[in-house]
């Protein structure tokens, strides 16, 4: 009978211990979140500005490339004029990726600098 009484207490102790560990983990996560200097707006700036800049740079480069292709084809917008060789397509892809990455990287650095200045 003594064993039967100890088992529920032991299970209760284990349950209390488990809740205690969960409480400690939540407290650690809360203190980590509170010690983070960056606000939601800062994090949004760091994500959105480089993404938008990369998208705009890609679209601008695509428009520039299309104008070069039109000039090469004598300002004719025909299906035959739009056909590019594999080398030209590969060149476009490489240059477009480079321009997009460069623009995103520069804007990312700029937004981080802006956030750092704001924190000071």
Section 60-78 average pLDDT: 81
The pLDDT of residue 1 is 44
pLDDT digits (tens, 9 = 90+) for 10-36: 888 888 999 999 999 999 988 887 776
Q: How many CA atoms lie within 13 A of 87 on its CB side?
A: 0
Angstrom distance (rounded) from CA 118 to CA 42? 10
| DSSP per-residue string spanning 28-50 | HHHHHHHH----HHHHHHHHHHH
State percent of the chain over pLDDT 70: 83
């Amino acid at each position: 009978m003594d064993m039967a009484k100890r088992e529920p207490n032991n299970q209760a102790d284990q349950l209390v211990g488990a809740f205690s560990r969960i409480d400690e983990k939540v407290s650690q996560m809360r203190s980590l979140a509170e010690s983070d200097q960056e606000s939601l707006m800062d994090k949004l700036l760091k994500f959105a500005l480089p993404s938008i800049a990369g998208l705009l740079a890609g679209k601008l480069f695509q428009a520039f490339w299309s104008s070069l292709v039109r000039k090469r084809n004598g300002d004719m917008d025909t299906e035959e004029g739009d056909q590019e060789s594999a080398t030209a397509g590969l060149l476009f892809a490489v240059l477009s990726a480079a321009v997009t990455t460069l623009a995103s990287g520069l804007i990312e650095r700029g937004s981080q600098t802006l956030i750092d200045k704001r924190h000071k």
